[in-house]
């Protein structure tokens, strides 16, 4: 397919790389960020533009990968009759695009994407189209970059998935960041915890997380819990989270 990517951030970069690797042609990258757009255009041997007024109108598909709160602004005067146009936001309704074309939808990558990554991660895609043509086009685009990880999801289902994604990714990652900070302050090496993190994540492929919990909370080891809480007295935020998580694991 011939594709135009609007945006030059994390999602734009990773999707563009995936599209290129699958043999699609990226006709143009359009972004207000001139240096990011031209870096991606150079990488993909294509052209870049910094204004929506310079948008190439010859593509089959337009992927809008900008911050959720600016999609509305970006598409104010965008009209692409006959073209398939989709945004990539988990929690934005597809109807935001309905004035742009009759063939609008969502192309949501359920993955944590960072443009500086040195590999192309596996990405489950959830798509939704305003009509059959859009759904088929977005499904086929998703399957071309992610065979086996593609499903249809309407706005409500996508939002529920987004909530689950925030919990397993952003919240867990925040706990890693707090633990890293704690390790630094206590003169410990955070990297020594990585085999533990990997093992816990790997188990999820075969076993429900509810079946694999270990540690003082599930064992009701009150003595250890109280000792940990006392040692966390100089880390009030961590101490509070420790209490909250312990209660949650205990089912309270």
Q: Which residues bind ligand NAP (CB under 6 A)?
A: 7-12, 31-33, 36, 65-68, 70, 73-74, 88-90, 109, 112-113
DSSP E strands in the chain: the ranges are: 2-6, 25-30, 47-49, 61-64, 84-87, 103-109, 125-129, 150-152
Query: What is d(CA 12, CA 40) in angstroms, rounded to the nearest whole number?
Result: 9
The continuous run of DSSP H or E covering 45 comes out as none
* Smaller CB separation from ligand NAP, 27 or 65: 65
Three-state secondary structure call for residue 230: helix
Q: How far is the CB of 33 from ligand NAP (least distance, A)?
A: 3
H-only helix segments in 148-221: 155-165, 172-185, 194-203
* Smaller CB separation from ligand NAP, 80 or 92: 92
* Smaller CB separation from ligand NAP, 117 or 224: 117
* Smaller CB separation from ligand NAP, 15 or 217: 15
- Residue closest to ligand NAP, measured at CB: 9
* Smaller CB separation from ligand NAP, 76 or 206: 76
Query: What is d(CA 188, CA 178) in angstroms, rounded to the nearest whole number?
Result: 13
Q: How far is the CB of 89 from ligand NAP (least distance, A)?
A: 3
Q: How far is the CB of 81 from ligand NAP (least distance, A)?
A: 23
Query: What is d(CA 70, CA 249) in angstroms, rounded to the nearest whole number?
Result: 39
Q: How far is the CB of 99 from ligand NAP (least distance, A)?
A: 18
């Amino acid at each position: 397919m011939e594709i135009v990517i609007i945006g030059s951030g994390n999602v734009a970069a990773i999707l563009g790389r995936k599209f290129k690797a699958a043999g699609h042609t990226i006709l143009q990258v359009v972004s207000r960020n001139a240096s990011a757009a031209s870096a991606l255009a150079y990488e993909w041997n294509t052209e870049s533009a910094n204004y929506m007024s310079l948008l190439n109108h010859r593509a089959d598909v337009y992927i809008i990968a900008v911050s959720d709160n600016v999609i509305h602004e970006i598409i104010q005067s965008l009209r692409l009759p006959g073209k398939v146009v989709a945004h990539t936001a988990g929690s934005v309704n597809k109807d935001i695009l309905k004035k742009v074309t009759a063939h609008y939808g969502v192309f949501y990558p359920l993955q944590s994407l960072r443009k500086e990554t040195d590999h192309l991660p596996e990405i489950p895609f959830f798509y939704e189209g305003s009509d059959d043509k859009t759904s088929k086009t977005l499904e086929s685009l998703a399957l071309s970059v992610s065979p086996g990880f593609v499903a249809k999801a309407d706005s409500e289902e996508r939002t529920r998935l987004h909530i689950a994604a925030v919990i397993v990714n952003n919240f867990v990652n925040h706990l890693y960041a707090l633990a890293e900070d704690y390790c630094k302050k206590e003169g410990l090496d955070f990297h020594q915890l990585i085999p533990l993190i990997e093992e816990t994540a790997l188990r999820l492929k075969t076993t429900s997380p509810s079946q694999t919990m270990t540690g003082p909370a599930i064992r009701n080891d009150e003595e250890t819990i109280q000792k940990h809480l006392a040692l966390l007295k100089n880390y009030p935020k961590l101490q509070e989270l420790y209490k909250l998580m312990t209660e949650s694991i205990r089912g309270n």
